[in-house]
Amino acid sequence: MLDRAFDSYDASPVEDAIQPPFPLLAARGLCFEAGGARLIDEVDLRLDAFGATVVMGPNGAGKSLLLRLLHGLIAPCAGELLWRGKAMGEAARRRQAMVFQRPVLLRRSAADNIDFALKLHRRADRDRRDMLLQHVGLLEKARQPARLLSGGEQQRLALARALATEPELLFLDEPTASLDPASTQMIETLVLAAKRNGVKIVFVTHDLGQAKRLADKILFLPGGRVAEHAPAARFFDRPTSEAARGYLEGRIVL
């Protein structure tokens, strides 16, 4: 650990003075294959410990797959993941959380869903649970069966459950894809609040407006390869890759 810090210090002393020596999460040569097809191809990536990175790309580009690989839900066929410069293990995984496109809620009350996550991270505590429910506007529905809540409420509950684990890194895989504008706005507000509280956000979306509202950086991923990883303003103003230009103009990209 110390050796590596010195290595990178020697390599670029000026840069290291202003940047932490290791990114929060880094991927090196990440690959994933299924059915003989390479779906994620040699992805190298450095995610800083702050801000929101929005992952964009056409359907079937492997955005969800990349998120699952980064979160350690599936194993890559090659490559490695580094959490603060060290190989990512179970302890690092516990510092991450994920909200899925379709919320998977336990067949219990809203409150019990939060309690489940709190207990896993040994923070079971009624006040904390109520605070989380209050935060996502579901306190008055605490005793209701989670699966009878509306789509937007279910997704907010899933987000509250993810926040219950106090993650440093929060993955969100198209969490608003099937929600109405009002519910979408609530989710975005909550995500921005989490970002302000220092949670690193990695958010997959197809919605350009949403990407502009949330993103500090854009990761553009056509066909399982990173084409661009750039500050949001620059990406939308001057995309460097032909694929990104085509995507932003609504042309078909393959």
Partner 1 sequence: MQDMAQAFGVALALAGSLDADLVEIVGLSLQVSITATLIACLFGFPLGAILATARFPGRGAVLVVVNALMGLPPVVVGLLVYLHLSRSGPLGFRGLLYTPTAMIIAQTILITPIVAALSRQVLEDLHHEYAEQFRSLSTPRWTAVNALLWDGRFALLTVALAGFGRAIAEVGAVMIVGGNIDHLTRVMTTAIALETSKGDLPLALALGMILLAIALAVNAAVMSLKLTAERHAYA
Contact region for partner 1 (CB under 8 A) — 8-16, 45-53, 88-96, 230-238?
88-96
192 is an interface residue for partner 1 by CB under 8 A:
no
104 is an interface residue for partner 1 by CB under 8 A:
yes
Contact region for partner 1 (CB under 8 A) — 44-52, 98-106, 184-192, 203-211?
98-106
Which residues does 180 contact at the CB level (< 8 Å), separation at least 6?
152
Q: Are 197 and 33 within 8 A, CB to CB?
A: no
Q: Are 44 and 227 within 8 A, CB to CB?
A: no
Among 34, 148, 193, 233, binds partner 1 (CB under 8 A): 148
34 is an interface residue for partner 1 by CB under 8 A:
no
Positions 56 through 75 that interact with partner 1 (CB under 8 A): 68, 71-73
Which residues does 188 contact at the CB level (< 8 Å), separation at least 6?
176, 210, 213, 214
172 is an interface residue for partner 1 by CB under 8 A:
no
Q: Are 159 and 114 within 8 A, CB to CB?
A: no
- Report the alpha-carbon distance of residue 186 to residue 189 in Å, rounded: 5
Write out the residues near partner 1 by the rule CB under 8 A: 68, 71-73, 90, 93-94, 96-98, 100, 104, 106-108, 116-117, 120, 145-148, 165
